[in-house]
Chain A
Amino acid sequence: MKCLDIKMPSDFEEAYALLNSQKKATIIAGGLFLRLQKQTIPLLIDLSGLNLDYIKEVKDGFIVGPMTSLRTIEKSNLPTALKESVKQISGVGTRNLATIGGSICGRYPFSDIDNALMALNAHLIFYKSGKTSMRDYYQNGLEDKDILIEIVVPKPGFSMIKYYKKVYTDFSLVNVSLADNDVAIGARPNRSMVVKNVDLNLSSKIILEDVEFGTDFQASGAYRRALAEALLDDILKERKAFYGS
């Protein structure tokens, strides 16, 4: 990565002004993926000074700051799907740097975290555009540049994520999350999509029958489907054990 300048604003107003000061001004969170970019960034905006690294448990969920590291999430008592989603992302060192905000705003199709948040139906608070659902933002993005300031994660009865990786720290070939009756399937290789209000007595084959799986050089669509079905079966098995059959 090449950049010409980096600033650390002390409040949101300043951060927002910096963001809009230049077309290619970019927020840096963990910086792991930014590092791989080829083009020169004129201005990086570091949000580390805004105290956005926190997890607050509230009545029916959690409020999470976007600069919370993946490692903090790994060690937290956030819903299982979210907690488990970070465990095999690279190594501990990377997870100490990478943030949940960066994973959300990157809207990465392969993201295990995004997949969990989609199933959980998390909501996002942006500085100017206000509250929106993860499901909406992840699919559509935002019209104008903005700053993510808060993530609202509900507390489901049961949630779980499973993914298939070739080696332990690899990107997922496909990922599947369940939060109560919503199933999210991602890295297909496209972005996670949600199948809502699922009858969990149905077979995973039927639950996933309208989900599209694509082919790339890593895996075929047919194989991704087979993987997703097996992963969902495993999740349903764990759910059964959780509730005691």
Chain B
Amino acid sequence: MEVKLIINGTHYKFAADPDEYLLDTLRKLGYKSVKRGCDTSSCGVCSILVDGDLVPSCSFLTVRAHNKPIITVEGIQLEARKIGEMITAEGVEQCGFCSPGHVMAVYALMRENTHPSLNEIKHYLAGNLCRCSGYEGQHRALKKLMEVK
């Protein structure tokens, strides 16, 4: 089925199977920041924005993204760098496999809520798993980034 995809501002005409998911489509088109980590929509490493909403790309059918703006980390490198500066200052991006998904979630959070409390940050990111860091370092970094009192 022919789909019109708008990825980070670039328009594509893409031939997708009806059961193809955005995760695979995006990786095929070279957007390697989007990762696969599980098979139950549980881990958050595939997070992207579609039409402004944070969604798991592993569970979003490509044909349903027709004409909807899609954002991956490749499309928000300036904002990602800003977030990254805080994160790398703590050393908390360890293996980095969950990092792009986290960046997308933090970016989405900041668009929804400019000054969240620590609990709001934690709740928003609860679906982004990290097995390396123990999360504490992330919270230290995000508290600084979002100026949590």
Contacts and interface: CB of A to CB of B under 8 A. Distances in A.
Q: Do A and B bind each other?
A: yes
A35 B64 CA distance: 14
Contacts of B108: 92
A32 B105 contact: no
Contact of B64 (A46, A88, A92, A94): A46
Interface string A57-101: 000000000000001000000000000000110111110110000
A28 B40 CA distance: 17
B54 A96 contact: yes
B139 to A, nearest CB: 14
Contact of B55 (A6, A87, A88, A93): A93
Interface stretch (B7-15, B25-33, B87-95, B123-131): B123-131
Given A48-B64, A91-B44, A92-B108, A32 B126 contact: no
B127 A92 contact: yes
A24 interface: no
Contact of B60 (A1, A36, A91, A97): A97
Interface of A: 1-6, 28, 30-32, 35-36, 44, 46, 48, 71, 87-88, 90-94, 96-97, 168-169
Interface string B96-125: 000000000100100000000000000111
B22 to A, nearest CB: 11
Contact of A168 (B19, B53, B126): B126
Contact of B127 (A5, A36, A48, A90): A90
B19 A94 contact: no
B56 interface: yes
Contact of A1 (B19, B47, B56, B64): B19
Given A36-B40, A46-B64, A169 B126 contact: yes
Interface of B: 1, 18-19, 21, 39-42, 44, 47, 53-56, 59-61, 63-64, 105, 108, 123-128
Given A44-B18, A92-B127, A94-B127, 18 more contacts: A2-B19, A6-B18, A6-B63, A28-B61, A30-B59, A32-B41, A35-B21, A36-B39, A36-B40, A48-B64, A91-B56, A91-B125, A91-B128, A92-B124, A94-B56, A97-B59, A97-B60, A169-B127
A35 B56 CA distance: 12
B132 to A, nearest CB: 17
Contacts, number: 70
A88 to B, nearest CB: 8
A3 B1 CA distance: 13
Given A46-B64, A93-B105, A35 B41 contact: yes
Contacts of A3: 18-19
A1 to B, nearest CB: 6
A36 B19 CA distance: 12
A169 B122 CA distance: 12
B61 A31 contact: yes
A30 B55 CA distance: 11
A96 B18 contact: no
30 contacts: A2-B19, A4-B19, A6-B1, A6-B61, A6-B63, A6-B64, A28-B61, A31-B59, A31-B60, A32-B41, A35-B59, A36-B39, A90-B127, A91-B44, A91-B56, A91-B125, A91-B127, A92-B105, A92-B108, A92-B126, A92-B127, A93-B44, A93-B55, A93-B105, A93-B127, A94-B59, A96-B53, A96-B54, A97-B55, A169-B126
